[in-house]
Amino acid sequence: MEKSEKIIWALRIIAAGILLQTLFFKFSGAEESIYIFSTLGIEPYGRIGSGIAELVVAILILIPKTTWIGALGGCGVMAGAILSHLFVLGISVQNDGGLLFLLALITLLCCLGLLYFNKSKLFNLLNLK
């Protein structure tokens, strides 16, 4: 396995791992998740909907042929999370020290890295060379 392939797998595992780890809290109705989505005014449908979106994105990221689609979706989901933190929730939510914000940033960076490694597929989709 070459170096770039190892990096791609590391990015996949980190992004999907973070996305999948947070699902438990969304789907179990954890207090912090309910607080976040209530503050955003979209509880419970936003919590469940974002959980489903994150599950789909994580699965797509882990499948090599669909990694770029999952990474594109992951960028969208994480952009929404980051903007929610910046404009509504604040960096630190319920004294978490900014952990959720940091996890969203790490996931976004991993997804951007995956898009970089899959840029030829994106360029082909857009008919660019």
How do the pLDDT tens digits run along the chain, 129 residues long? 899 999 999 999 999 999 999 999 999 999 999 999 999 999 999 999 999 999 999 999 999 999 999 999 999 999 999 999 999 999 999 999 999 999 999 999 999 999 999 998 888 878 765
The distance of Cα 106 from the centroid of its chain, to the nearest Å, equals 9
Query: In this predicted structure, what is the pLDDT of residue 103?
Result: 98
Residues with Cβ within 8 Å of 89's Cβ and at least 6 positions away in sequence, in order, are 36, 39, 40
Between 45-62 and 3-27, two packed helices, what is the crossing angle to 10 degrees? 160
| Domain ranges, ordered by start, for the chain | 18-120
CB within 8 A of 1, min separation 6: which ones?
none
Q: What is the pLDDT of residue 126?
A: 81
Question: Can you give the pTM of this predicted structure?
Answer: 0.94
